[in-house]
A and B are shown apart, each in its own frame.
Chain A
């Protein structure tokens, strides 16, 4: 297509476009005119709707006020007033108070009812059914509301209207009423005169050129100036003003609004506006087209420039990205190369270390093999039996395999695994072997026992040695006393012999004879006592603990020591008067005191030596204190800590066993006591023994001492191979009131009992008899008469209750028999037998 044809086509197109534009603008102008006319119609409708809304608002306000007035009419104060009237209360008292309350209520009500800051009620009154005003609020001066109310007020509840409007001096006045009805009976009414101005302020929000009126019949508020013609809005488009009106829904009022047309719609007609707008639109379209063409050209150039610029920028960015990627790649290659080199180096180091470790491991393995072989040999040759048990108590390894003791040691391990406590340290086997057993747990990292290591040492020989040495030490002490004992015995025997000879010479004087015999008896008792001491001291089995008075034992032992220790050594004993009672064993106390005194004897010098013993009671701690002090050579500090160790001695060889002080230490500890030593070289030593005291004695024998003989009745059988013992016992039993029969042969006794098992009430038997021992006899007789009490008499010190426990022996009495003891034992035995038979 040529340029000329193109230009022609463009011109034709332009003309067509202009024609079309003209048509469009014309249409727009026509439509605009139509819209303006419609707009006027809408404006009228809006005004009408606005007025309707105001009417609705006024309706609502009036209804609300009416409702409030109803609440006032039903208030307590108003109700109480009428109740009090019915109760015939006087104006002076009840009614007066009620009226005052009502008055206050009305004033409050008036003050509370406010619209836009203005009081809505001019006046509020309460009127009774007889048209009497009960109470009212202040009223406008000159406004005789009472007379008006009397005319307006309906006479009954049914006819009462809620609102009344009336003409007061040409002005519209509005009043609200609410009846007061109590229990269905009309009592009066509450009257509220509305303030029109306040009411209208609620709805009066029109623009300039607008006036709003509240109309009731022909009465207007505010007062209308001149006559307002009722022209409807639709008919008054050309009129200088428009009037809109609407009726209230619930109250007999109309709202009328007068609007100035010029103020509302302006001075120009719709056609003038359309024409002006048409010209203006045409001009604007032409100008717009021109400007658009210029703008399009400029925009096209600018767009091409921008596209070129963007292309250049994109190319630059791509180049930059390529460069960055290349740099990054090069850096990564470098880093990876470096990393590989480092790893290679590290690997080489590790290989070297591992080779070194393997070499060391081989070395250690060889060493451990050697060590293991060595330890295995050591363990297998060790004097102790070492065993390893698993967590179930099953033996894993032992250097000495002997199944015969498994039933003894395996339960010990089992218990240790269960409780974690080793039940006993020393274990005696069936064959009399004594083992010192030590169990220790092997734990894993969580503290769980995985294995148990048992170390067992045979200490049978050691124990025997210790016992033998202890005995040896005791005899060593006894040997020390031997000369003293011999001296005492000589004295006693001399006395007995002397009094016996004197007794033989006396023939007729029975009183003197009795006196000599009693003295002989005292000598015998002293001898018996001494023998008892020696026997007690020679016992190998320890007696149990019993409550005992410390002073007599200390005194007696000290007395023996005094006889033993050379006279050039001064000895002094201090004993308190008050009894000191402890729980212990007399032999042990004697052994303690003797060992301490013998040590003191050996320590003091041959001239001027002193041994001082003190017995006292510490009232604060309640402990007995036995102190043995000397002025001897003292104990060097370097050996002071070792003096209580077994076998430790500073004496020359053969002079001591080294067990004396260790035995003292053991005895004191077994009594729950302590021993302290203070010593200074060249000045002497002091051993202080502290033993806990007890308050009361439990031993019955102690209580019985000093009591008279306990006589009784019964038939007693006595058996002893010694005829004089049978005679003595029969004599004593007779003296005690019993019938008794004495035999020397136990077989005869058994025969007697087989014949008549229940003839005798008790049997007194010797322990050792030829043919049959006392214990065998007791067993045989118990088979015949289970309840028969059997009392055993013996000269053996070691025979006690423990030794005779399984044979049904009631009591063991030591020879020589004490009549006093015999009387109590026999009495108790027979009474118990009686109780048992009753039971």
Chain B
């Protein structure tokens, strides 16, 4: 009996060690095909970034497909469910990845479950509508708060599409209080723009990178009404406690940024983002928090 228990403990111990060692050799990238970050064909801004990170650190790259609902669970090992009352831990699952990167917006509630790297990409949540919609875009001004107020004032009585638990969740920005008729989309984040085009709702929340892609794919069919958030950050997510890997990534990203190679990579996937968020990319040195 003792032997069995000893062998079991020894197995578990060595299994953990081997798993740890494997983690040193391989970087398992949890990825959800999304916009230009993970294109689904083995490429994408975040895919190329993590591949470069793996190569520089001498690790093998491995892409692990997941979903928007499950990526935190697969990264942390805790089953996280986002309901009407917010996220809650509902069980445990096996860890499938070492980091997650697919255009993940840094949200406060996510920070409770994962650690984020230094910001890698700027984003903002915009309201989009079909080109034929009678909702007119706001007049741009230099005052972002004023633009947000103007945008919110246009939502009253209009159906607004969002996805619960993601950065396009209307609840995150208290959009219900604007009088908008909130509709939660059951499909994927990538399908929000087509859903608006199909007429599922008059308006939809879309984050800036996704909107940029949508405008390239369906040119002249969509229009931006205005922003509902300030400029947000996207970053690479790490499990809590994986400080070493995160710091390693941060150091790598700093060098990568300074060598201008990251900017070249961004230009491949989002050539227009520099025009929208020039301040983000004008930084020469990054702050490591």
Interface residues of A (CB under 8 A from B): 76, 80, 83-90, 92-94, 96-98, 101, 182-183, 185
Query: Which residue of chain B has its CB nearest to the CB of A79?
Result: B217
User: How far is B217's CA from A92's CA once the two chains are assembled, in angstroms?
Assistant: 17
20 A-B pairs with CB atoms under 8 Å apart are A83-B40, A84-B190, A86-B41, A87-B34, A88-B40, A88-B188, A89-B188, A89-B190, A90-B191, A93-B194, A93-B195, A93-B200, A94-B191, A96-B194, A96-B198, A97-B197, A98-B217, A183-B41, A183-B43, A185-B41
Provide the residues of chain A in CB contact with B218, threshold 8 Å: 97, 101
| B40 with A87: CB separation less than 8 A | yes
Chain B, residues 152-194, CB within 8 Å of chain A (1/0): the string is 0000000000000000000000000000000000011011011
Chain B interface residue count, Cβ-Cβ cutoff 8 angstroms? 19
Provide the residues of chain B in CB contact with A185, threshold 8 Å: 41
Interface residues of B (CB under 8 A from A): 33-35, 39-41, 43, 187-188, 190-191, 193-195, 197-198, 200, 217-218
User: How far is B40's CA from A182's CA once the two chains are assembled, in angstroms?
Assistant: 12
Q: Is the interface of A mostly helix, strand, loop or mixed?
A: helix
With A96-B198, A97-B197 known as contacts, the answer to whether A89 contacts B191 (CB < 8 A) is yes
Provide the residues of chain B in CB contact with A83, threshold 8 Å: 39-41, 217
| A87 with B33: CB separation less than 8 A | yes
Provide the residues of chain B in CB contact with A89, threshold 8 Å: 188, 190-191, 194
With A80-B217, A185-B41 known as contacts, the answer to whether A87 contacts B194 (CB < 8 A) is no
Query: Which residue of chain A has its CB nearest to the CB of B38?
Result: A87
User: How far is B258's CA from A134's CA once the two chains are assembled, in angstroms?
Assistant: 45
Provide the residues of chain B in CB contact with A80, threshold 8 Å: 217
Closest 7 CB pairs of A and B: A86-B40, A93-B194, A93-B191, A94-B194, A86-B41, A87-B33, A87-B190
| A93 with B198: CB separation less than 8 A | yes
Which of these, A76, A94, A182, A183, contacts B190 with CB under 8 Å? A94
Provide the residues of chain B in CB contact with A87, threshold 8 Å: 33-35, 39-40, 188, 190
Query: Which residue of chain B has its CB nearest to the CB of A187?
Result: B41
Provide the residues of chain B in CB contact with A182, threshold 8 Å: 41
Provide the residues of chain B in CB contact with A98, threshold 8 Å: 217
User: How far is B36's CA from A80's CA once the two chains are assembled, in angstroms?
Assistant: 12
**Nearest CB of A to B51, in Å:** 14
> Which of A76, A84, A86, A93 is most buried by chain B, counting CB atoms within 10 A of its CB?
A93
User: How far is B218's CA from A92's CA once the two chains are assembled, in angstroms?
Assistant: 16
**Nearest CB of B to A93, in Å:** 4
| B191 with A86: CB separation less than 8 A | no
**Nearest CB of A to B215, in Å:** 12
Query: Which residue of chain A has its CB nearest to the CB of B67?
Result: A88
User: How far is B35's CA from A94's CA once the two chains are assembled, in angstroms?
Assistant: 12
User: How far is B197's CA from A86's CA once the two chains are assembled, in angstroms?
Assistant: 20
| A88 with B41: CB separation less than 8 A | no
> Which of A76, A85, A88, A98 is most buried by chain B, counting CB atoms within 10 A of its CB?
A88
Query: Which residue of chain B has its CB nearest to the CB of A182?
Result: B41
Provide the residues of chain B in CB contact with A101, threshold 8 Å: 218
**Nearest CB of B to A574, in Å:** 79
Query: Which residue of chain A has its CB nearest to the CB of B193?
Result: A94
Provide the residues of chain A in CB contact with B195, threshold 8 Å: 93
Further pairs besides A87-B35, A92-B191, A93-B187: 6, Cβ < 8 Å: A84-B217, A87-B33, A87-B40, A88-B40, A90-B187, A183-B43
User: How far is B190's CA from A80's CA once the two chains are assembled, in angstroms?
Assistant: 13
> Which of B194, B197, B218 is most buried by chain A, counting CB atoms within 10 A of its CB?
B194
With A92-B187, A97-B218 known as contacts, the answer to whether A86 contacts B39 (CB < 8 A) is yes
Query: Which residue of chain A has its CB nearest to the CB of B40?
Result: A86
User: How far is B193's CA from A351's CA once the two chains are assembled, in angstroms?
Assistant: 118
User: How far is B193's CA from A96's CA once the two chains are assembled, in angstroms?
Assistant: 12
Provide the residues of chain A in CB contact with B43, threshold 8 Å: 183
With A97-B198, A182-B41, A185-B41 known as contacts, the answer to whether A86 contacts B33 (CB < 8 A) is yes
Query: Which residue of chain A has its CB nearest to the CB of B219?
Result: A76
Provide the residues of chain B in CB contact with A94, threshold 8 Å: 190-191, 193-194
> Which of A86, A87, A92, A101 is most buried by chain B, counting CB atoms within 10 A of its CB?
A87
Provide the residues of chain B in CB contact with A92, threshold 8 Å: 187, 191
Provide the residues of chain A in CB contact with B191, threshold 8 Å: 89-90, 92-94
User: How far is B35's CA from A76's CA once the two chains are assembled, in angstroms?
Assistant: 16
User: How far is B42's CA from A182's CA once the two chains are assembled, in angstroms?
Assistant: 11
User: How far is B194's CA from A89's CA once the two chains are assembled, in angstroms?
Assistant: 9
Provide the residues of chain B in CB contact with A76, threshold 8 Å: 217
**Nearest CB of A to B47, in Å:** 12
User: How far is B191's CA from A86's CA once the two chains are assembled, in angstroms?
Assistant: 13
| A88 with B187: CB separation less than 8 A | no
Provide the residues of chain A in CB contact with B190, threshold 8 Å: 84, 87-89, 94
User: How far is B43's CA from A94's CA once the two chains are assembled, in angstroms?
Assistant: 20
User: How far is B191's CA from A97's CA once the two chains are assembled, in angstroms?
Assistant: 10
| B194 with A97: CB separation less than 8 A | yes
User: How far is B193's CA from A182's CA once the two chains are assembled, in angstroms?
Assistant: 23
Query: Which residue of chain B has its CB nearest to the CB of A97?
Result: B194
| A90 with B39: CB separation less than 8 A | no
User: How far is B33's CA from A89's CA once the two chains are assembled, in angstroms?
Assistant: 9
User: How far is B196's CA from A94's CA once the two chains are assembled, in angstroms?
Assistant: 10
Provide the residues of chain B in CB contact with A90, threshold 8 Å: 187-188, 191
User: How far is B119's CA from A742's CA once the two chains are assembled, in angstroms?
Assistant: 108
